[in-house]
Structure 1
Amino acid sequence: MPYPPSAPLPYDYLLVGGGAAGLSLAYYLAQEPRLAEKRILLIEPEAKDRNDRTWSYWADEPTPFDKLAVGEWQHIAFRAPGFARVLNLGKYRYRTVRGLDFYQFVHQALVARPAQFTVLRGRVASLENTGVGVRARTEAGEEFIAHYAFDSRPPAITPRPGRHRYLLQHFVGWEIETTRDVFDPNVVEFMDFRGPQYHEARFMYVLPFAPRRALVEYTLFSAQVLAKAEYEAHILDYLTNTLDLAPADYRMVEEEMGAIPMTDHPLPEGVGANIINLGTRAGRAKPSTGYAFRRIQAQSARLAAALAATGRPPRDLTGDRWQFRLFDTLLLDIMQRRGETTRDIFQQLFERNPVARILRFLDEKTSWADNLRVMNSVAPGPFMRSIWHVLRGRPGNR
């Protein structure tokens, strides 16, 4: 349903990018009756017609995309040398959504509102505030104006390694089918740290969809990606020595890989009065874990509610609290300085706290009292050294 007008036509909202962040906001805007008369233009650079990624999240209340989940679990397992525990999530559920299912679901909702939404294929080359709104120009030379723009393009930052910390959560995963029952479909292997750490944080992650089907992923928190063969070697080792599978016992159905930036580099919530950043551009990938999907939903709901109630975005665009940014910075500093100690920190967290408290803490919903309980549950030494690095304004190094 592209609609390329011959002259600039004022839209109420311009959504730049059609990934998780842009489409999530589009969906929340579409579901808000008070915004039904708004004219919304979505410019996305490519067709979302393949399953290019999956998103996992935990939640203790219903979310709009739960119906799309290809898996839902009430138990997760944490494993490290000398400690292993399967944890009941209580009122929480852990879910996984495939990218293609999400893209199709949202686009169907937009197609059902042709008077409200226009979708255009293209890449925005420039986006600027004007006296009354924003102006966007595409690489093809088209120009559009709107009252507000919501920008979910990847962040463009100039690294300052002397001031901030820059790591990646990077991974390769194989979705496999086995010839016999291997997986417990009720338990996600959330973090299996039993393998060598090589001075970094490295773990296996397993999403079991059925007794004979699962995603088996090798994940690292470090500054540099590996050669693909290195990830694959660790996956093969896990399949062979932990799951006791021979090559004839399984086949690979799909493969996924990725690298999620994890940094405390300041990522602005917006630019000027009328450009609001979304997704990773607004720091929605949590710096210390890489999880982003639920944080994107929370920002989308916040923006849609404010636009419906006041006609303007909220003053506080994300609702982030400064103390959690500090906690993220401290953990990033430890990962950068002594990555192998990350395993010990997570073991102490899961050994000494109820799982609900950990999830609330990672969701940035804990009280000051619970924050103190969490911090008191881990060895203070690594954090004290990182506090010193934060106070002096320079990241720690090995």
Structure 2
Amino acid sequence: MAATFEYDYLIAGGGAAGLSLAYYISQEPRLADKRVLVIEPEAKNQNDRTWSFWTDAPTPFDSIVAHEWEQLAFRSPQFEQVFKLARHRYKMIRGLDFYNFVGQALTAAPQIVRVQGTVETLENTSTGIVAQTSAGTFTARYAFDSRPPHFQKRPDKYRYLLQHFVGWEVEAAQDVFNPKTVEFMDFRGEQQHEARFMYVLPFSKRRALVEYTLFSAEVLPKAEYEKAMRDYLRELGVTDFRIEAEEVGAIPMTDHPLPTTVGRHIVNLGTRAGRAKPSTGYAFKRIHAHSAHLVRALAATGQPPADPTGDQWQFSFFDTLLLDIMQRQGEQTRHIFTELFTYNTPERLFDFLDERTSNWENLQVLNSVTPGPFLRSIAHVLRGRPGRRVEK
């Protein structure tokens, strides 16, 4: 006798990853009869973040893109250039717009139920899962877990950094920004033995999101980010401005193995499944590609795919090498990205970071950077121990 479940799919968490999967399920006619439960800790009714990404193809979310840019600027003391993007556009979506967009789609899908609560435990059974939550106990055939990852760090074996930032959405008193050009990385400031850069998304000549971003192991006192942003704006000639909104974040960047499944019936999502790219922290597009991949398999076979992510080993290896350099000698990051943008088009770099380049294209990218730091990191990987900073 077949096991009876309350739901076919239980989604733990209602952030970007959980809502993404629920959305793709709602849009798949072959899954219209599947009962779906989304358990989310809180109602998503505030603009708590923004997501930025590059793309050369239409997305399901184009109607809620707040702004897009056709040019990209890279700046360092050795090299500056504004690139006209060919295939790609750089886009930004506000969190609240995404939550509302997905919420409307889920409301129109009667098989999807949303419950406010926290998932305390997920347990595999022989035929499905049991979820203990603050809203009660539920059973399902499969669970998709988007809760933040929890693991015991192994700094003797893996690398652990953060992409951390504070950003202000500012309104300047005079025209100063170019709304056609995203300031992708401005490395002209002091690096202080770390990777530090300004990132600017201009929405108009007077309004922009200005972020001070670092790749390093520890966050800074908030006043240090704020000073860096004020200094940057002052160098642009901006002394009179209003802060309309603020963003604060810290995204884990690690090569610690993050399992994509737990047992037969639990599939991990989002950062829990390693969807934040370890070497850059970008996650939005990877999350949605993962959701689409899972839903295609569920619709075709009734089961999650045998390979839940489709990740290719060589790109994980490249990520590990860059993480090792950042951890060992963070200030080298500026030089590496300077070489990457000097000798490659943004199109090739975007394709490489999207993990869709061929072996020949990978070789072209790798040949554009000074080999020494990478060879040292390869040695560290081969010996199974991360590189450590050696102060001279």
C-alpha separation in 2, matches of 1:270 and 1:197: 39
In the alignment, is the contact (CA less than 8 A) between 2:187 and 2:196 conserved in 1? yes
Q: Is residue 246 of structure 2 the alignment partner of residue 255 of structure 1?
A: yes
Could you list the runs of 5+ residues in structure 2 that have no partner in the other structure? Answer: none
CA shift digits 1:198-236 (9 cap, x unpaired): 000000000001111000000000000000000001001
CA distances 1:23-64 after superposition (whole Å, capped 9, x unpaired) = 001100000011111100000011111011110001110011
Q: 1:36 aligns with which of 2, 23, 32?
A: 32
Residue in 2 aligned with 1:136?
131
| Structure 1 segment 366-385 matched on structure 2, within 5 A | 366-385=357-376
The aligned residue for residue 144 of structure 2 is: 150
Residue 187 of structure 1, aligned match among 164, 167, 181: 181
Does the residue aligned with 2:330 lie in a helix, a strand or coil? Answer: helix
Aligned pair partner of 1:119 in 114, 129, 144: 114
Cα deviations across residues 304-331 of structure 1 (Å, max 9, x unaligned)? 1111111111101000000000000000
Candidates 141, 144, 154, aligned match of 1:160: 154
Counting only pairs closer than 5 Å after superposition, residues 1-398 of structure 1 correspond to structure 2 as 10-114=6-110, 116-140=111-135, 142-241=136-235, 243-246=236-239, 249-398=240-389
Q: What is the SS of the residue equivalent to 1:231? A: helix
1:9 to partner: Cα distance: 5.2
CA contact (8 A) 2:78 2:338 kept: no
SS in 2 for 1:96: strand
Quick one: distance in 1 between partners of 2:254 and 2:57? 29
Amino acid at match of 2:224: E
Deviations 1:359-378 (A, max 9, x none): 00000000000001100100
Q: Distance in 1 between matches of 2:79 and 2:306?
A: 45
TM (norm. structure 2) is 0.97
Q: Which moved more, 1:83-92 or 1:268-277?
A: 83-92
Listed one character per residue, the Cα deviations across residues 333-380 of structure 1 (whole Å, up to 9, x for unaligned) are 000000000000001000001211100000000000000110010000
Distance in 2 of aligned mates of 1:124 and 1:56 = 29
Deviation digits for residues 41-100 of structure 1, max 9, x if unmatched?
Answer: 000011111011110001110011121111111111000002101112211111000111
For residues 239 and 87 of structure 1, the distance between their equivalents in structure 2, rounded to whole angstroms, comes to 22
Compute the TM-score of the two structures, normalised by the length of structure 1. Answer: 0.96
Give 1:139 deviation, angstroms.
3.0
What is the DSSP-based 3-state SS (H/G/I as helix, E as strand, rest coil) of the residue aligned with 1:225? coil
Amino acid in the other structure paired with 1:274? H
Q: Which runs of 4+ in 1 moved over 2 A?
A: none
Partner AA of 1:170 in structure 2? H
SS at match of 1:387: helix
Q: CA deviation at 1:178?
A: 1.2
Amino acid at match of 2:192: Y
**How many residues matched?**
386
Counterpart position of 1:4: none
Contact 2:259/2:273 (<8 A) preserved: yes
Tell me by how many angstroms 1:182 deviates.
0.8
Identity of aligned residues (%): 66
Task: Give CA-to-partner distance per residue, 1:124-177, whole Å, 9 cap, x none.
Answer: 00001111111101135x110001100000000110000000000000000001
Distance in 2, matches of 1:238 and 1:150, equals 42
2:9 and 2:140 in contact (8 A); partners too: yes
Compute the RMSD of aligned alpha carbons.
0.8
- The secondary structure found in structure 1 opposite 2:331 is helix
